[in-house]
Amino acid sequence: MSSLYLIRHGQASFGAADYDVLSDTGIAQSRRLGQHLGERQLAVDAVYVGPRVRHRDTARHLRDASAEAGHSLPAPIELPELDEYPAFELLRHWMPILTEEDPTMAAILEAPPGSDRIGRAFEHIIGKWVRGELDTGHLESFVAFVDRVERGLDIIMRDQGRGKRVAVVSSGGPISVTMRRSLSLADDIMLRVASVLANASVSEFRYRDTRLNLVTFNDTAHLDEPELVTYR
């Protein structure tokens, strides 16, 4: 058996012009995880990262902190298949269209302030995307997204083989696909998983050949200060 540690990136810059940048909290989360790995002296055979800046920088900060604790981690291998789904692109494209055409969306946006209108609108759009109810055009469909991430998992498990410990730094979507594969989750349940994944959390899976089994989910014990536990 081999171990696969899926790490969600540190907090990014939600609400800023460029989301794909770690916040100060995101850097602190990444370093705390790296310090934790260094203190445990956990032998990791390979580190994979998605293609986003937030993925690469999370890996960089955790590797630096682990090295400062006296434990070296392998240089990361970038894997495009570990990218997130096009969440913000879907939101920007479909929000104005559905506001005009979909009574449910209009009702969500007419709710009083403080009711997390944007969050509910996002869930509504992504739900329609998952069910194949949107013409995604040039954007990635849900089926294509799942197939891509599954392909990435197969690459990692095939290339690393048995008896290995592998760390993967990515986003909530790919981690949710891994949960879907491990537990045979329904599609709508799968994306609920992403909504509860903490930044810099660790979910451990065991694999043999291409079969995945969940061991621990969304572990944040290394984030020992309450302000370091964030979800977006």
pLDDT of residue 214: 96
**What's the whole-model pTM score?**
0.91
Tell me how far apart the alpha carbons of residues 15 and 167 are, in angstroms, rounded to a whole number: 29
Domains and CATH numbers, the chain: 2-83+141-228 (3.40.50.1240), 87-130 (no CATH)
105 vs 25, higher pLDDT? 25
DSSP secondary structure letters along 108-151: HHTSPTTS-HHHHHHHHHHHHHHTT-S--TTSPPHHHHHHHHHH
- Coil, strand or helix: which one is 47? strand
Helix axes 142-160, 172-183, angle to 10 degrees: 80
pLDDT of residue 92: 85
CB-neighbour burial class of residue 94 (10 A; exposed 0-12, middle 13-18, buried 19+):
buried
Rounded to an integer, the average pLDDT of 10-37 is 88
pLDDT of residue 25: 96
Tell me how far apart the alpha carbons of residues 180 and 206 are, in angstroms, rounded to a whole number: 14
Mean pLDDT estimate for the chain: 91
Does 114 have pLDDT greater than 70? no
- Coil, strand or helix: which one is 52? coil
Rounded to an integer, the average pLDDT of 151-173 is 95
Rounded to an integer, the average pLDDT of 120-140 is 88
pLDDT of residue 182: 95
- Nearest CA among 6, 26, 3, 36 for reference residue 202: 6
Does 118 have pLDDT greater than 80? no
Contact assessment for residue 80 and residue 87, using Cβ atoms and an 8 Å cutoff: no
pLDDT of residue 5: 97
Lowest average pLDDT, out of 38-52, 74-88, 164-178, 180-194, goes to 180-194
- Nearest CA among 60, 83, 47 for reference residue 168: 47
pLDDT of residue 219: 96
User: Long-range contacts of range 66-72, CB-CB < 8 Å, 24 or more positions apart?
Assistant: 66/34, 66/35, 66/37, 66/38, 67/34, 67/38, 68/35, 68/38, 69/34, 69/35, 69/37, 69/38, 69/39, 70/38, 70/41, 71/37, 71/38, 71/39, 71/41, 71/42
pLDDT classification of 17: cutoffs 50, 70, 90:
low
Which residue reads 């997130």 in tokens?
Answer: 84
- Nearest CA among 57, 72, 35 for reference residue 169: 57
Does 113 have pLDDT greater than 90? no
Task: List, for residues 24-55, the tens digit of each pLDDT value.
Answer: 999 999 999 999 999 999 899 999 999 999 99
Task: List, for residues 166-179, the tens digit of each pLDDT value.
Answer: 999 999 999 999 99
Tell me how far apart the alpha carbons of residues 25 and 27 are, in angstroms, rounded to a whole number: 5
Tokens representing residue 79 in the block = 């894997």
